[in-house]
Amino acid sequence: MVNLVLIIMVILFSTSLIATGNLNQQVDITWGNDKAKIFNNGSLIILSLDQTSGAGFRSKDEYLFGRVDMEIKLVAGNSAGTVTAYYLSSQGKNHNEIDFEFLGNLTGDPYTVHTNVFIEGRGGREQQFRLWFDPTLEFHTYSILWNPQSIIWYVDETPIRVFRNLQSRGIPYPSNQAMRLYSSLWDADNWATRGGLVKTDWSKAPFKASFKNFKTNGCLWSSSAKKSSCPSSNKGSSWLNQQLDGTNIQKLKSVQNKYMIYNYCADAKRFSKGFPGECKFVF
Ligand SMILES: *[C@@H]1O[C@H](CO)[C@@H](O)[C@H](O)[C@H]1NC(C)=O
Ligand SMILES: *[C@@H]1O[C@H](CO)[C@@H](O)[C@H](O)[C@H]1NC(C)=O
């Protein structure tokens, strides 16, 4: 009995810690073989892309609600046609997904930060942004917060997008499928740069994107028990109830005014028969 209590306590304690640190223990390389390399005893991953292949990895753990933070340095120079993806996703046909995708560009031209939400296999909720810095010079922190109230995309702790849980109004929200973090570098020159007009310049390959300081804080999913265990309220669970306060709503609005370049909720041509329900409730 004492042993059982001890084991339960160890499980509760360990799932409530912020996991940070060794990428060897945090992720699996899922494709690309030698195009994905882990350096410095698990503190850095570099993905590369050439004409033979890109590469990708995913977190070993799955979460049903969580927050992920990663520092990423994007492909430098002429990165047109390349896409660096960083997203949460469940598996299967009617999967849920929360995306960050970074679309490369010609040298000196700005990246596009593409965001989307898939619910039960359906996307179509795109917002796109420019960044207020050159994302190829230094590492910057990109975060996805996914809790029962909302999904928030952050760039260096500045919120750029919110997707709220409006299930009580009949609007879908990802809340019943566990997700993993996925990241990849791949070639998308059939659509990424000006709708496929600018092709990847393979003479500049291999293209490289770097990742470090992967932090996860979530309700760890157990596939055998078919449920997730959330951290106790006093142990690093502030993300679980986190919502935007007034200051952060102002920051979000300011980013959206200055840097948003596409918003599905403003695309009247596309939604000539009426906008999706959530568009009425955007801040
Ligand atoms: C490598 O990382 C592991 C796990 O974080 C750690 O236990 C070990 O001491 C590290 N080794 C070196 C040489 O830094
Ligand atoms: C590349 O830069 C051009 C010029 O600023 C811009 O119009 C275009 O949207 C950019 N493409 C991507 C994929 O970001």
pLDDT band at 235 (very low <50, low <70, confident <90, very high): low
| CA of 80, closest atom in ligand 2 | 13
Answer whether residue 116 is part of any domain: yes
Q: pLDDT tens-digit profile of 245-277?
A: 999 999 999 999 999 999 999 999 999 999 999
Answer whether residue 19 is part of any domain: no
Residue with tokens 């006093």: 234
Q: Is the CB of 148 under 6 A from ligand 1?
A: no
How far is the centre of ligand 1, averaged over its atoms, from the C-alpha of 44 (Å)?
Answer: 13
Flag whether pLDDT at 2 surpasses 60.
Answer: no
Answer whether residue 78 is part of any domain: yes
Answer whether residue 15 is part of any domain: no
pLDDT of residue 196: 76
Contact assessment for residue 200 and residue 86, using Cβ atoms and an 8 Å cutoff? no
pLDDT band at 12 (very low <50, low <70, confident <90, very high): very low
Q: Which ligand is nearest to the CA of 26?
A: 1
Identify the residue whose C-alpha is closest to ligand 1 atom 4: 22
CATH of the domain at 46: 2.60.120.200
Q: Which of 99-103, 189-193, 208-212, 221-225 has the lowest mean pLDDT?
A: 189-193
pLDDT of residue 232: 79
Domain, as residue range, for 156: 27-281
Q: pLDDT tens-digit profile of 152-185?
A: 999 999 999 999 999 999 999 999 999 999 999 9
Q: Which of 84, 103, 109, 129 to mutate to test the pocket of ligand 2 (most atoms within 8 A of CB)?
A: 109
Answer whether residue 10 is part of any domain: no
Q: Which ligand is nearest to the CA of 24?
A: 1
Q: Find the mean pLDDT for residues 29-56.
A: 96
Flag whether pLDDT at 17 surpasses 60.
Answer: no
Share above pLDDT 90 across residues of the chain, in percent, rounded to a whole number: 84
pLDDT band at 9 (very low <50, low <70, confident <90, very high): very low
Q: Considering the entire predicted model, what is its pTM?
A: 0.91
pLDDT band at 189 (very low <50, low <70, confident <90, very high): confident
Mean pLDDT of all residues in the chain? Answer: 91
Q: pLDDT tens-digit profile of 113-143?
A: 999 999 999 999 999 999 999 999 999 999 9
Answer whether residue 3 is part of any domain: no
- The structural domain count of the chain equals 1
Q: Find the mean pLDDT for residues 3-29.
A: 62
pLDDT band at 11 (very low <50, low <70, confident <90, very high): very low
Contact assessment for residue 158 and residue 251, using Cβ atoms and an 8 Å cutoff? yes
pLDDT band at 237 (very low <50, low <70, confident <90, very high): confident
How far is the centre of ligand 1, averaged over its atoms, from the C-alpha of 147 (Å)?
Answer: 32
CB-based contacts of 157, cutoff 8 Å, min separation 6: 141, 143
Answer whether residue 151 is part of any domain: yes
Give the separation between CA 136 and CA 89, rounded to whole angstroms: 25
Contact assessment for residue 146 and residue 67, using Cβ atoms and an 8 Å cutoff? yes
Distances (CA, A) of 221 to 36, 53, 230: 26, 31, 9
Identify the residue whose C-alpha is closest to ligand 2 atom 2: 109
List residues bridging with 161 in a β-sheet.
153
Flag whether pLDDT at 244 surpasses 50.
Answer: yes
Specify the DSSP element, H or E, that contains 221. Answer: strand 207-222
Answer whether residue 274 is part of any domain: yes
Flag whether pLDDT at 96 surpasses 80.
Answer: yes
